[in-house]
Amino acid sequence: MKDFGVRAASSADRAFLVDMLAAAVNWLPERNWPREQILADPALAHYVTGWMRHDDFGMVATEPAGRPVGAAWFRYLTAADPGYGYVSDDVPELTIGVVESWRGRGVGRALLRAVLDAARDRGIRTVSLSVERANVARRLYVAEGFRTVESFENADTMVAEIRA
């Protein structure tokens, strides 16, 4: 039995998405970048700046009292301002983060499946992400059908084809 629910993200979730971007960036215990540093870095800030634009969408996991414990969201980025997992202007890029105390409880998988369903409902057929190779989340992405399309020193760009 799950002890969390999943709902659509809204414009009111911006601050929490910043927290989850920080959780995603700081997945390594020795990396502890504060929100301010992340928001000051254009290569990271563009994942949340101006949330919620007309084509942004995502999902938020909440514990029984309604407090958010994780989020997964898609954003379209452009060749002029690409993300780490940029593939093309018409492929949205996924960001996902889970509150540390909620990791390993199925929250990430539930969020990933829910946000992929939301993408399918919008007619999106390909999505992308970037993940550092040592991140345990990479196993989740592979298990859920993502494949590597480009590799860098420590990270991979992965895509998933979404079936209709």
The pLDDT tens digits along the chain (164 residues) read 579 999 999 999 999 999 999 999 998 888 899 999 999 999 999 999 999 999 999 999 999 999 999 999 999 999 999 999 999 999 999 999 999 999 999 999 999 999 999 999 999 999 999 999 999 999 999 999 999 999 999 999 999 999 87
Model pTM score = 0.93
**25, 39 contact by CB (below 8 A):** no
> How many whole angstroms separate alpha carbon 95 and alpha carbon 93?
7
Q: What domains can you pick out in the chain, each with its CATH number?
A: 5-161 (3.40.630.30)
CA distances from 72 to 8, 31, 79, 99, 154 (A): 10, 21, 22, 12, 22
52 φ/ψ sector (left φ>0, alpha ψ -120 to 50, else beta): beta
